[in-house]
Amino acid sequence: MYWIALKMLTGDPSKYLAIIFGISFSCVLITEQSAMFCGLMMRTTSQIRDVHDAEIWVMNPNVRYMDDLKAIADTSDIRVRGVPGVAWAVPFYKGAAQIQLPTGRYQGAIMFGIDDATLVGGPQAKQMLLGKIGELQLPDAVIIDEAGFHQLWPNEPLKLGKTFEMNDCRATVVGIFRASLTFTTQPIIFTRFSKARLFAPQYRRSLTFVLAKCVAGESPEVVADRIQTQTRMKALTQDQFSWLTIFYYLEHTGIPMSFGTTVLLGFVVGCAIAGQTFYLFTIENLRQLGTLKAMGMRDSVLIRMVFIQALNVGIIGYCLGIGFATVVGVTMQTLRPILPFFLPWQVLAVTAVAVVLMVMLASLICIRRVVILEPAIVFQS
């Protein structure tokens, strides 16, 4: 009997495809926008996630997100080292720097100062496009990100040995790396901690973060709590710090609102197209359904038939939609890396829920018509 339902559905390919297109379109909109939203949010934490060798971040208790820089006492790293469960702790500077190019042009940048002896928190070897991380030990050495290099020297091929000035100190590019894109898109500069203090304008305190790793067998969350208790500084794992930053942006910017509106719009459009087409399809098939009812088929079977039809278009539309969204997203990002696109499974789940709601709504209207249908209608006209 359900085979007839599917036959009815695919019997008219143009209508069938129209319904599926409606649902797919809505899925693409919802998935695409949600993934872009997630991508944008991930960008706010890219500098946290780019640190691959430490798991705990220690900072001023008043820090609200990654770019909210409040310095801590210069002895903080040795205090963190004294906390049980901490394998090591090193200073990590983050601050704003003002680059002055030989042409006289100025450009703001994000500067990181990594521990002189160990280079903890620096770019990974696989991120390096030119040069080596170890060359930071050279005098005046800095490593700059690829996008930043193009911002500073547009239309020039990547090249080492370029120099510029920061705070009247000479800096030489000894390496170029590919950084995860940031929210503010400023050039990212890595240098040694001691050099960073010279490159940055003078402040009384200059230590912004302490990076720590816990000993094997200890959970980072527990050790972070212990650091917080013993030193009264804020200590967060990489994930906790990322979420803190994301929640700050969610709360303090209009980004979730604008993306949410588009997602809602996608949902409404999807509902409208899918619902309307599906409804029209049901109306057109009322004669067949009436015939079946006249043949003595019970309402429950008819309702199930409608559901089967809805489920069929829902699943196929959903699969096509998310697939197409992925293809579009990946293509866009490959062509223009500046576009954010991050697709976690949660987005797929949210889209699935939306599709289920959509087809439920559409089928419910149709079911009402089927239930109140008089079998006699078949013999009218």
Partner 1 sequence: MKISGTIGKYLLPALAGVMLLLAVGYAIRSQQRIPLKSPPVVPSTNPFGDIVAGIGFVEPSTDASTQAMISVGSQLPGIAVKVAVHVGQEVNEGDLLFELDKRNTTAELVVRQAALAASEAQLSKLEKQPRPEEVPALEAQLLAATATLETATDVRDRDVKLLLTKSITLQEAFASEEAVKNGTALFEVSKANLNLLKAGAWEPDKVIARAAVDQAKASLEQTRTTLALLEIRAPVTGTILQVNLRPGEFVSTSPTQSLITMGNLKPFHVRVSIDEEDISRLKLNAPAVAMLRGDLKRREVPMTYVRIEPAVITKTSLTGANSDRVDTRVMQVIYSIDSETPLIVEKKILVGQLLDVFIDVK
Count of residues interacting with partner 1 (CB under 8 A): 64
At its nearest, how many Å lie between partner 1 and the CB of residue 355? 12
SS3 content of the chain, % helix, strand, coil (to 5): 55, 15, 30
Q: What count of other Cβ atoms lies within 10 Å of the Cβ of residue 152?
A: 19
Interface with partner 1, residue 122, by CB under 8 A = yes
Interface with partner 1, residue 115, by CB under 8 A = yes
At its nearest, how many Å lie between partner 1 and the CB of residue 95? 13
Interacting residues of 215 by C-beta distance below 8 A, sequence separation 6+: 85, 86, 87
Structure-token match 């090193």, residue found: 90
Distance CA(212)–CA(91), nearest Å, equals: 9
Q: Which long-range contacts (CB under 8 A, 24 or more apart) does 37-41 make?
A: 37/255, 37/256, 37/259, 37/263, 38/340, 38/342, 38/343, 38/344, 38/347, 39/339, 39/340, 39/341, 39/342, 40/183, 40/255, 40/259, 40/340, 41/246, 41/249, 41/250, 41/255, 41/342
Query: Which is nearer to partner 1, 205 or 368 (by Cβ)?
Result: 205
Among 260-268, 287-295, 324-332, 360-368, the segment contacting partner 1 (CB under 8 A)? 324-332
Among 60-68, 75-83, 94-102, 297-305, the segment contacting partner 1 (CB under 8 A)? 75-83
Query: Between residue 194 and residue 223, which ones bind partner 1 under the rule CB under 8 A?
Result: 194, 197, 202-206, 213, 215
Interface with partner 1, residue 345, by CB under 8 A = yes
Is the separation of the CB atoms in 176 and 136 below 8 Å? no
Query: Which is nearer to partner 1, 53 or 225 (by Cβ)?
Result: 53
Interface with partner 1, residue 88, by CB under 8 A = yes
Query: Which is nearer to partner 1, 11 or 108 (by Cβ)?
Result: 11
Residues at the interface with partner 1 (CB under 8 A): 9-10, 13, 16, 20, 31, 49, 52-55, 73-75, 78-79, 81-82, 84, 86-90, 115-122, 124, 133-134, 194, 197, 202-206, 213, 215, 231, 315-316, 318-327, 330, 342-345, 347-348
